Structure 1
């Protein structure tokens, strides 16, 4: 089991939580981004820098992840693709996407995209709250306890 991180938009506090988990458990974490990400020099903490472009990092994650891997992403279409491959997906706010919930999340995302396309200002997501940071760390710990040997 490996952890793949959609690192282009991954908040620093979540990156730090993932690094601590990798150091504690030895699980391999790969941060995929189209720019350089500062990471500690550890054998199980890797960076994969891809070319700039629409969905290049997402496509790389989908191609490389395997059944049972965990993908950290706020990108709902990416989460849907990795779930279809048999991997797991966790949002940086602590929401573990499932096959039962991803359809509704895609519908909401598409609706909001339609609203923005018609000129309605929807605003961006709020910053991560302490509760969301804690929920992410708790979900990650539960996942690792259940899936990492």
Structure 2
């Protein structure tokens, strides 16, 4: 789908701040509020804008338990459907946050979330590894996020040097 320059501008702004007021967005891209709303509605209907999301740094929330893992999956693709059929089986699990087709040693990269390490391990051993097309998996537990979707999660460290004059 070919998008106009204004549509691309609107998408660029919304990708950085989905909560921006429509009036502010319209001023930024040089359109009226009505024109901007019409473009946004069209992009939503065409499924270019899929969802408006909030990014949360759960490490700042006391008592929030959660474990994320990136799982590399090697699969045997099926005739006629390639990787799509096995990818769909995998992304239908509630634990799965994302599935990507990759180049390189592994075919799929799967992001999984669970309450404990054991819960993620059980998902891999009891659900993922037992799927017919899955040949092997490698699980990497995420220990700390520094940057996510272009957003730096760490607070800037203040310069502790003493000013000398």
Normalised to the residue count of structure 1, the TM-score between the two structures is: 0.21
**Larger fraction in helix:** 1
Structure possessing the higher radius of gyration over alpha carbons: 2
